[in-house]
Amino acid sequence: MAKGTPPTPTPPTARRSPPTTIESSRDRERLRTVVFPEHSDLAAAVAERIIEVIQRETRAKGRAVLGLATGSTPLGVYEELIRRHQAGDLDFSHVITFNLDEYYPMTPDSPHSYHRYMWENFFEHVNIAKENVHIPEGVTPRERVTEACAAYEQAIRAAGGIDFQLLGIGKTGHVGFNEPGSDATSRTRIVTLDTLTRRDAAADFFGVENVPREAITMGVATILDAKEIALLATGEHKAGIVARAVEGEISTDVAATFLQRHQSVTVYLDLPAAAELTRIKTPWILEGIEWTPAMVERSVVWLADKSGKAVLKLSARDYAEHQLSPLLAPARARRFGGSHQRPGLQSATREDSGTRQAARARARTRVLAPSG
Ligand code: PGA
């Protein structure tokens, strides 16, 4: 679901065991990134961090200021926060919130409005004061939009700035509705939505022609002013843009890359959304990795795909040119994580999960040694 119609909230879930994460080389990553094999662990970890911030800031200055996001991605976080509130662990009476964006024009009672999304999926279920909730107004008359945007910025400053900003990422790389072309100095303003963003929202609006063409959004600079930022992404459809945001150069083409300039950003991903990160997709090209039999298999299948050759036709040169020379060394010279047995190119049958390479590997039963 794109950032569109609010879904029906699901009941709060039971208390979970501590989340597990995938740890591996992060050489290519320009943002601190955490990958969760279990989707529910991601929401629990983010909610836990928000709770820590609320408690710390409320103790320190009598209030906590949260920047909030809509869309399908943060729903699990809101469910977890509601559950913790209902369990008596969490008080929202001193919490002030600022939402990232709203479609324009948009009435607050429309099923597509982010006002409605936020109340139905979160605010209605916790003890937040109505006057502490801020969401850009999609009904502001056009001639007053600039003034309203300046007032939104001023309200954030008056609250003492945002302590914790929650973000999703769109397929265009937008954070908030900062579409390609948004620069690092942008502030709250009215923007034109990218065609891809409108297409992503089309199903919720029963046709792309019904999706608003504009929105009011916090700017990149507004977001970067937050003390701490969490960027969340789930699902395979986000994998490409996530890799670009995490490993790519900073560019106005992808607003999320500006997060690389911030001191305190964490990217929270489920495994499908992490699938295009180097450490998941082609970990063997990173320094100091530990070879496992499954990785041997995946890397050879990858090399065959990349070189357009059958596995048996791969030459020593193909291996060397793709940083896979270690596979040609005697097995004892390779580092196999936790095991000294020779996995060998002939016997690599164990699998790890999640990537297209692994899926392809499953379709092939044996991987054979190189031809030269
Ligand atoms: P989504 O939207 O969570 O519905 O994928 C994210 C975004 O567009 O920012």
Per-position DSSP letters for 316-361, written without gaps between them? HHHHHHTT-GGGGS-GGGS-BTT--S--TTTS------SSHHHHHH
Atom of ligand 1 nearest to the CA of 69: 9
Average pLDDT value for residue range 94-103? 98
Distance (Å) from CA 197 to ligand 1 centroid: 9
Question: pLDDT averaged over the chain?
Answer: 87
Asked whether 66 lines ligand 1 (CB < 6 A), one says: no
Ligand 1, atom 1: nearest CA belongs to which residue?
71
**Residue 261 CA, ligand 1 centroid: distance in Å:** 22
Ligand 1, atom nearest to 3 Cα: 4
CA–CA separation, 293 and 129 (whole Å): 56
pLDDT tens string 104-126: 999 999 999 999 999 999 999 99
For residue 15, pLDDT over 60 is answered with no
- Name the strands in the sheet holding 214-217, side by side, starting at the edge strand that comes first in the sequence: 101-104, 214-217, 189-192
Ligand 1 in contact with 168 (CB < 6 A)? yes
Q: Is 343 in the pocket of ligand 1 (CB under 6 A)?
A: no
Which are the catalytic amino acids? 179
Q: Which atom of ligand 1 is nearest to the CA of 177?
A: 9
Is the Cβ atom of 5 under 6 angstroms away from ligand 1? no
Name the phi and psi angles at 277, rounded to 5: -70, 145
Q: Is 169 in the pocket of ligand 1 (CB under 6 A)?
A: yes
More confident residue, 232 or 40: 232
How far does the centroid of ligand 1 lie from the alpha carbon of residue 76, in Å? Answer: 13
282 Cβ closer than 6 Å to some ligand 1 atom? no
Mean pLDDT confidence for 43-58: 98
Residue 190 has pLDDT above 90, yes or no: yes
1 CB less than 6 Å from ligand 1? yes
Q: What pLDDT score was predicted for residue 326?
A: 84
Instruction: Tell whether the model's pLDDT for residue 6 goes beyond 60.
Output: no
Report CA(117)–ligand 1 centroid distance (Å).
Answer: 13
How remote is the CA of residue 218 from the centroid of ligand 1, in Å?
Answer: 15
pTM reported for the whole predicted model: 0.84
Whole-number pLDDT of residue 358: 39
In angstroms, what is the span from residue 106 Cα to ligand 1's centroid? 18
Cα–Cα distance list, 228 to 163, 213, 244, 267, 273 (Å)? 6, 30, 21, 11, 22
- Rounded Cα–Cα distance for residues 282 and 299 (Å): 7
> Which range (36-40, 144-148, 278-282, 329-333) has the least confidence?
329-333
Taking alpha carbons only, the member of 103, 83, 98, 81 closest to residue 2 is 103
How far, in Å, CA of 232 to CA of 362, rounded? 30
**Closest approach atom of ligand 1 to CA 167:** 9
pLDDT tens string 298-338: 999 999 999 999 999 999 999 998 889 888 887 656 655 54
What value does the mean pLDDT take over residues 243-269? 98
**Of 68-72, 120-124, 269-273, 349-353, minimum mean pLDDT range:** 349-353
Residue 176 CB less than 6 A away from ligand 1: no
The rounded distance, in Å, linking the Cα atoms of 14 and 83 is 8
Q: What is the pLDDT of residue 313?
A: 94
CA 304 to chain centre: 31
Confidence of residue 20 (pLDDT cuts 50, 70, 90): confident
